[in-house]
Homo-oligomer: A and B are copies of this chain.
Amino acid sequence: MIPGVKFGGIASGIKASGLDLGLVVFDQPTYVTALYTKNKVKAAHILYDKKVTNPVRAILANSGCANACTGPEGTRDLKVLSETLSGALHIEDGKVLFASTGVIGRRLPTETMAKAIPGLVKALKENQEESFARSIMTTDTYPKIVRETVPGKRPYTIVGIAKGSGMINPLLATMLVFIFTDYPVSPETIRKTLLEGARESFERISVDGECSTNDSVFLFTRQGPEDLGGLQAFRDKLFSVMKELSMMLVRDGEGATRVIHITVNGAKKEETAEKIARRIAISPLTKTAFFGCDPNWGRIIAAVGDSNVAVRPSSVEIILQGEVLARNGVEVLFDEEKVKKLMNKKEVDLIVNLGDGRASYDMYTTDLTFDYVKINASYRS
């Protein structure tokens, strides 16, 4: 709970059933810092939000409709909703942000939403984070909330809320993330910090290599005299919230039965290690092998070789759950039954040593399962 930050979530009728409209309102003018998808096709809410100037007063989020590829009408719909909401909140117009997730290509049902706004405003409470978190879920199987409270002379809280399950790939993932804090920090510091934090968290997860039109990370902070002494501690807590949210996202990856922690060591440059880790993370053959608990290291080394970077196959070592499967690029004797059992866990550790230098990169991906296909072959029906 953050004093002066109220949450709400209701079933407005955008979806056939379930919560689908969420609202966060700030008693005080609040400073927002945001990161958006790198997809060239951007949802209307991103095009709109980019023009909203600080400070802001509220954010309205919905599931069930991405409001992407909706043309100028998609942006106009948001202007109409902004007016309605500003009126209901008695705030200056133009200070409301939007975030949407759901099917691409459909316009928002603005009348339905406008009708629901008075009820939503009434439902607002400081402790309703969960309703808000539930209102933005699509194929997510649970709401994703992380809270950190830092005691001390000047105590503060960080609350992070996210949604995302499929269409997840770094830079950014297909997700909406909202982080709130009452720690006072300057605009210059916060943007740099958010970028660094994203690089350590959301950019290190992948479910299916897809990049959505709606990805957004919003960080809401108080304006005020910066507490330089506490900045390092705040930074650490913020990164920890972001990292935990990103782990919640990848663990809830569509159809996933396990998370694979990929670490690539021994590269000449971190960039090389990253390219290889990302290539492994999107390899369907590797991901299906992890689903089947098959220690098929040949598929992993094939992905390494296909990473578009120089590698010396004869120096590659592959370690799965602590068991060495290959060294100097060739198989070593290992107990296949034992490794299969070790792979049958919620989280599996894969280490690839390149033997070429001292740089590393690590990230998380999921296995590729029947349920991923099931969920996505019938998502709209």
CA gap between A42 and B301 in the complex, in Å: 10
Interface string of A313-335 (1 = CB under 8 A from B): 11000000000001011110000
A104 touches B288 (CB 8 A): no
Knowing A66-B298, A373-B373, say if A331 contacts B284 (CB, 8 Å): no
Q: Does A228 lie at the interface of the complex (its beta carbon under 8 Å from any beta carbon of B)? A: no
Q: Does A81 lie at the interface of the complex (its beta carbon under 8 Å from any beta carbon of B)? A: no
Q: Does A369 lie at the interface of the complex (its beta carbon under 8 Å from any beta carbon of B)? A: yes
CA gap between A289 and B372 in the complex, in Å: 11
Which of the segments A111-119, A123-131, A193-201, A303-311 contacts the partner chain? Answer: A303-311
A41 touches B305 (CB 8 A): yes
A381 touches B294 (CB 8 A): yes
Q: Does A292 lie at the interface of the complex (its beta carbon under 8 Å from any beta carbon of B)? A: yes
B211 touches A41 (CB 8 A): no
CA gap between A71 and B331 in the complex, in Å: 9
CA gap between A296 and B103 in the complex, in Å: 8
Partner of A69, one of B103, B213, B331: B331
What chain B residues lie within 8 Å of A208 (beta carbons)? 284-285
B377 touches A292 (CB 8 A): yes
Chain B nearest CB, measured from A284 CB (Å): 5
B376 touches A288 (CB 8 A): yes
B378 touches A292 (CB 8 A): yes
A210 touches B302 (CB 8 A): yes
B104 touches A304 (CB 8 A): no
Q: Does A39 lie at the interface of the complex (its beta carbon under 8 Å from any beta carbon of B)? A: yes
Chain B residue at smallest Cβ distance from A369 = B373
Q: Does A98 lie at the interface of the complex (its beta carbon under 8 Å from any beta carbon of B)? A: no
Q: Is the interface of A mostly helix, strand, loop or mixed?
A: loop
Q: Does A364 lie at the interface of the complex (its beta carbon under 8 Å from any beta carbon of B)? A: no
Chain B nearest CB, measured from A373 CB (Å): 5
What chain B residues lie within 8 Å of A303 (beta carbons)? 210
Knowing A329-B69, A373-B369, say if A310 contacts B40 (CB, 8 Å): yes
Q: Does A167 lie at the interface of the complex (its beta carbon under 8 Å from any beta carbon of B)? A: yes
Chain B residue at smallest Cβ distance from A300 = B104
Knowing A41-B311, A288-B377, A381-B294, say if A212 contacts B302 (CB, 8 Å): yes
A211 touches B294 (CB 8 A): no
Chain B nearest CB, measured from A317 CB (Å): 12
What chain B residues lie within 8 Å of A68 (beta carbons)? 298, 302
Q: Does A344 lie at the interface of the complex (its beta carbon under 8 Å from any beta carbon of B)? A: no
What chain B residues lie within 8 Å of A211 (beta carbons)? 302, 305-306
Q: Does A50 lie at the interface of the complex (its beta carbon under 8 Å from any beta carbon of B)? A: no
Q: Does A374 lie at the interface of the complex (its beta carbon under 8 Å from any beta carbon of B)? A: yes
Chain B nearest CB, measured from A189 CB (Å): 31
B374 touches A305 (CB 8 A): no
Partner of A373, one of B209, B210, B291, B326: B291
CA gap between A104 and B211 in the complex, in Å: 31
Q: Does A283 lie at the interface of the complex (its beta carbon under 8 Å from any beta carbon of B)? A: yes
What chain B residues lie within 8 Å of A301 (beta carbons)? 41, 69, 104-105, 213
CA gap between A291 and B69 in the complex, in Å: 23
Q: Does A15 lie at the interface of the complex (its beta carbon under 8 Å from any beta carbon of B)? A: no
A326 touches B69 (CB 8 A): yes
Which 8 residue pairs spanning A and B have beta carbons closest together? Answer: A104-B298, A41-B305, A292-B377, A288-B376, A40-B305, A211-B306, A39-B305, A105-B298
Please list 18 pairs of residues, one from A and one from B, whose beta carbons are closer than 8 Å in the complex, sorted by A's number.
A38-B306, A40-B306, A40-B310, A40-B311, A41-B313, A70-B331, A71-B330, A104-B297, A105-B330, A166-B285, A208-B284, A209-B284, A210-B302, A210-B303, A211-B305, A211-B306, A213-B301, A288-B373
